Structure 1
Amino acid sequence: MNDGYAIHVEGLTKRFGGRAVVKGLSLRVKEGEIYGFLGPNGSGKTTSIRMLCGLLTPDEGSGTCLGYDVLRQTAEIKRHVGYMTQRFSLYEDLTLRENLDFVARMYGMTNRRAAVEQALEDLGLAQHSRQLAGTLSGGWKQRLALAACMLHTPRLLLLDEPTAGVDPKARRDFWAQIHRLAARGITVLVSTHYMDEAERCHRLAYLAYGELLAQGTPSELVAASGLTTWSVEGEDVHALAEQLRALPGVTQVVPFGHVLHVSGSDAQALAATIAPFQEDRRYRWTLTQPGLEDVFIQLMESARDELSP
């Protein structure tokens, strides 16, 4: 069935030792879309990804990945999915070319030599092809891992925190490559903790304690948050932050260098609380648009209050 969705699942649940790690996940990801998974550690992101790519069988729920049933056609799903794990999982004592050739053999590719050469070229690795993988920097290891994922020309990439520990330039280069792949029609589902990466996704989902709390485009999530945010800068904003945190109408105070973001769900209550501080000439207050980080901090705090045991 081709309904325009690379991923279309309803109510996926997975338990380990009687504890539900993922609870009733429903997700629709369009073909060619970059879909971001966000959430704190232990929120169920990795388990969700492994159910989608056929590595784990859901205990409950149903749906399709690339048109294949996630319960009964996991072998077919694996043939068309590239999965990049959090940790570098290739052989550090093999060269880049040897690593890719090994992966191609594992896939049983008949054109593996041509595929390896193409992957090296596409990811800018050709000049390093005889270098041992263990000598690469984090950014180059990331490129090699992505090349290995792309060898069998998958229709879907599942990337589990692929840029953890990678420098900003390497992260930017990686995301440029991801957008090039999406432009070719490849669907990408990626988990990340970085807000600048979240903003590069077409759509986002936020998970906490195994539950999907919110999903939508970055702008939709900000609009739906109901947050009012003020930006304040001036002298000793750290002391100001300590005063504001305990006051009514203030749900979060987040420092960004010498600037604070002061947010609340009740715009009038927040305005009344900060009014006296706005008369202090040491501080400059500006009503601003809440950012994704403000929204996700609010979601994490509410999830901790409502969902934690």
Structure 2
Amino acid sequence: MITREQLANVLDHPVYDGDGNKIGDAKHVFFDDMTGRPEWVSVRTGMFGTSESFVPIRDAALVRDHLEVPYGKEQVKGAPDVDVDAGGHLSEGEEHRLYDYYGINWSSVLTEAERTDPDSDTTTGTGTMGTGTAGAAATGPADTTGMTTASGTAGAAGATGAAGIAGHRTGTDRDTAERAGTRADEAMTRSEERMHIGVERRESGRARIRKYVVTEDVEQTVPVRHEEVHVEREPITDANRDAAMAGPEIGEAEHEITLHEEHTFVETEAVPMERVRLTTEEHIENETVHGQVRKERIEVEGVVEEDEETRPDRG
């Protein structure tokens, strides 16, 4: 069982089930009115922590930096929704519903409370502990309304919360207060939750550009020239007789000419063609987000209010 001294390591810390699945974060710890022991912890679950479920803390264990409960994640998330009154108190009926849901014997809970405080005539219920990280809290003196006050100081370094045990007022306490000339505040505070939606930037994918080399066959026709030898014969005429008689009359002679031809060769050069880059373009889309918020409603019995049907809290 979690002790008061360990509460600093419970509030605002993760809560896991027996299989190691994170359920959510612990937000409130509720104490039993009669035993003064931590009895319930509320866990923020769901998207953005918009839901809050109650889970018994009596069989929970503090493992390093988180709380481990012997109930499955889905079971905790499916726990009945309960209403906590303005004083931060669970009624007997609401607590009974939770015990039935988790399969805890209600009579054994009452027996344990009676063993702790057999002379108490206070109606069975569970008080609440303030939100925030807190250590062990000292219990202060009771005021004239029967509500136990607290001014405890956090037991862990850096803790910011203080907690106390809240109990139901009995009829005897109310009469005593009225005889003493004091009256408790009879107003009831109605609260409701507001849904706050946030956005976070996540990586959705990656794009890259790269270049690689391919080889293509290119074909092009170009003209090439070459020389060929042709033999020309001309008869001796008066026009060429002198040239013909210029050499020896009889003897050996040799004439040679050089032939030429063109050959093709290939060379390449790198020529820039284009520049390619990646850019991003941001688009804005409207996305509908669904969540659940809890609202308190106040019903008035025995009194007919004016314009009751048009009140905004009647919806």
Q: Compare the two structures and name the one with the higher helix fraction.
A: 1
Same fold at TM > 0.5: no
Please indicate the TM-score interval, normalised by the length of the shorter structure.
under 0.3
* TM-score normalised by structure 1 residue count: 0.23
Larger radius of gyration between Structure 1 and Structure 2: 2
Q: Compare the two structures and name the one with the higher strand fraction.
A: 1
* TM-score normalised by structure 2 residue count: 0.23
